[in-house]
Amino acid sequence: MPKAGTEPMALTALKVKNAKPGRHVDGRGLCLLVKDSGARTWVLRMQKDGRRRDYGLGSALDVSLAEAREAAAALRRQVREGADPVAERRRARKVVPSFETAARDCYEALKEGWKNKRHANWISSFENHVFPVIGANPVHEVDSVCVVDVLSPIWLTIPDSARRILQRIGAVLDFAHIKGWLPGEVSLRSVRKGLPRQVDKGGHLQAMPYVDVPVLMRKLATASPTTGRDALRFTIYNAVRSNETRFAVWSEFDLDKAIWTIPGERMKAGETHVVPLSAPAVTLLRKRWKERTSDTGLVFSHDGEKPISDMTMTKLLRDDGIKGVTVHGFRSAFTDWSSERTRFPKEVADKALAHKLPNKVEAAYRRTDFFDKRRSLMARWAVFLDKEPAKGSSDADPTASEPVRLRAAA
């Protein structure tokens, strides 16, 4: 006789073996389901919060009656304690991807919402600095300690990029949480406490003195030609931002008219910028045109599709022993040269750099883009960059004595 208050267990091992098709109740919701095919499955039926659910416990060929009763008792305890066995099993079956796979999925999901294509360097920064360290780790195992390992080698050498990479890793982990690959949100606020203090908090980017730039340009021009060297020379010739060079495509250029039209979505100010190309810049482009892989692809690329890394040009400087100087700093060198060695108004140099006027009223009334004057200015800059300085002369600028004539020509 069963104890008072308990439900008799109807099944025995023999009954399980000989059961006919149908549902055979053992007790307290445990059932044996037998299909017409002879397949036998254990199912536990429970009701919680007014909802009835069936939980599979496995095949009767693999799970004995005693084991099914034990599994049913364990499931009942879980449900009483507030757990959701179905969700737990679903999470257990979910394949957790590597951090690299999660990052690439995150990039594909987010990139269409980015207005400026310069954010395409998002994934290249991971390829250069993150994937080699933690790319193979399951994304749910990436924590603050892993992130410190990634950032330690670059935290002080490329602080701006390192801070951006920290933010991007956080975005990937948030994406992984939304996808169900992480049980909870991961906070990276403690990462900075495991890294040395960055002294430079985003001040002026260090620039090479303009009188030294021609020496660098000669080194780049006489060294073995590479895509990176061509990109750096082109960036300096035109005093543009590195991303404007990295993502330049052939359809933006009119080499016969020596004009480069950069669409607004690629510019920091969001406005189309027309660059008058100097003769050396056109020569460099014509050389690359002969080696192109596509008539419409990227100019500074090995295959016309994938841009060079945002660190490629900087690495050329570091390999030459030039520490601290940034590629962006050559724009400052151009500004210093223009103000000290020419008589062009500051407004012309500012327009050459695609700077936006801070005064909105002044900007509204100034309709000209100084294109002809900018063509003369950029031609002068190219002459300065390519001219050998006179030996024993303290003035290395070969154009400093002719500003009036060139301005009149503009």
Contact assessment for residue 235 and residue 257, using Cβ atoms and an 8 Å cutoff: no
* H or E element that contains 121: helix 121-129
Give residue-wise pLDDT tens across range 307-332.
998 889 999 999 988 888 889 999 99
Q: What are phi and psi of 158, to 5 degrees?
A: -130, 70
113-127, 144-158, 203-217, 247-261, range with greatest mean pLDDT: 247-261
User: How far is the CA of 195 from the CAs of 61, 63, 199, 297, in angstroms?
Assistant: 57, 53, 12, 40
CB neighbourhood size of 81 (10 A):
7
Whether the per-residue pLDDT at 398 is higher than 50: the answer is no
51-55, 112-116, 216-220, range with greatest mean pLDDT: 216-220
Separation of alpha carbons 169 and 166, rounded Å: 5
Query: Strand order of the sheet with strand 273-276?
Result: 253-254, 259-262, 273-276
Query: At 273, is the pLDDT very low, low, confident or very high (cuts 50, 70, 90)?
Result: very high
* H or E element that contains 276: strand 273-276
Whether the per-residue pLDDT at 290 is higher than 80: the answer is yes
Whether the per-residue pLDDT at 294 is higher than 90: the answer is no
Separation of alpha carbons 105 and 176, rounded Å: 9
Whether the per-residue pLDDT at 81 is higher than 90: the answer is no
Higher pLDDT, 82 or 133: 133
Query: At 8, is the pLDDT very low, low, confident or very high (cuts 50, 70, 90)?
Result: low
What is the pLDDT at residue 132?
93
Give residue-wise pLDDT tens across range 205-263.
578 899 999 999 999 999 999 999 999 999 999 999 999 999 999 999 999 999 999 99
Lowest mean pLDDT among 3-12, 91-100, 125-134, 189-198: 3-12
**Mean pLDDT rounded to a whole number for the chain:** 83
The reply to whether the predicted model has a pTM over 0.75 is no
Closest by Cα among 234, 171, 259, 201 to 385: 234
